[in-house]
Amino acid sequence: MTSSTPTLGWLGTGRMGAAMAGRLLDAGHPVAVWNRTRAKAEPLAGRGATVVDQITDLVDRDIVFVMVSTPDDLREVLLGGSGLLSRDSGRPGTVVDCSTVSAEVSAEVRAAAAELGVEFLAAPVSGNPHVVAEGGASLVASGGRATFDRAEPFLAAIGRTVVYAGPDEQSRLVKLCHNLYLGMVVESLVEVVTLAEKGGVDRAAFLEFLNGTVLASDWVRKRTPDLISRDWNPTFTTALLRKDFDLGLGAARANEVPMPVGSLVHQLIQVAIGRGFRDRDFLAMYDVQAAAAGLDPDGSGAAGPAGSARTGSGTGGSGAGGGGVE
């Protein structure tokens, strides 16, 4: 570190990145931010951020956080020709990557950073942008213990829970296991909701009952208004869930772990994408299940198409109350 108060940078200010960087700004930490589309970073300037034009403008920062969507994005912003680690001189002390990527890609980037004398911490996050903004996110980190200790105060400013998982890529597997479980939970939820509704039970009534039992969870409670109103404005898209299932099932194969339920849900996620829900919230898997059951959830003659939400029984809601991930 170059000072007693580390200087911070941020790469990637999409929905999640902007919410996470905003938490650091609100905690009083000056942050310089970059995004491929500068307009997406500009709102953070009003909260005290310095918006830079090029990734390499962040090379003088002590710690640079990264939040991007795919493994290829991570390689590009760090190792590409104009990436953070592309210069022969002037590099950050530490990179903290909060993206969800495979352990293999993470290890590749970690090794490249180490060759250049840059510390690397993998710190994926659980919680959608609304959860992050409210301070409810959870982060799991892996890398050198001393690196984690230096980054922990800033991770704690972003999320409610910060867990150290080990010295290598353990945090990547933890996050993938989390998202596999999330997808399985959602499929189970939409199946039993559809069964109850097809049998004549009001959707809102069933969910009110479920939310009062020992099987209830904060996540299902938060998403209940969206499921009732069929509001598929994205908190976490079906395409991103498929990406995490691709990675998670790959990890299962590598570790010789059978995943019969996860493999089936993977195919059902693909069905949802094929039905037009690729860029909608992954809770839209309800519409796929409803259609398969011949259910008309809104009285229009068909399960709702991809795109706009419709109003079903009970109270309305929006993606803003959701608790997805990424």
Give per-10-residue mean pLDDT for the chain (326 aa): 78 96 97 96 96 96 96 95 88 96 94 96 94 95 98 98 97 96 98 97 97 95 96 95 96 97 98 97 97 82 43 32 35
Residue pointed to by tokens 């309305």: 316
For helices 103-115 and 71-79, angle between their N-to-C axes, nearest 10 degrees: 10
Alpha-carbon distance 230 to 317, whole Å?
8
What is the third-level CATH fold of 8-168?
Rossmann fold (3.40.50)
pTM, rounded to two decimals: 0.84
Q: What is the pLDDT of residue 104?
A: 92
- Do the beta carbons of residue 141 and residue 121 sit within 8 Å? yes
Label residue 28 left, alpha or beta by phi (over 0 means left) and psi (-120 to 50 means alpha).
Answer: left
Q: What is the pLDDT of residue 300?
A: 53
Q: Is 115 exposed, middle or buried (0-12, 13-18, 19+ CB in 10 A)?
A: exposed
Alpha-carbon distance 9 to 22, whole Å?
12
Q: What is the pLDDT of residue 89?
A: 74
Per-domain boundaries in the chain = 8-168, 173-321
Alpha-carbon distance 126 to 106, whole Å?
17
CATH class assigned to 173-321: mainly alpha
CA distances from 12 to 21, 99, 325 (A): 9, 10, 16
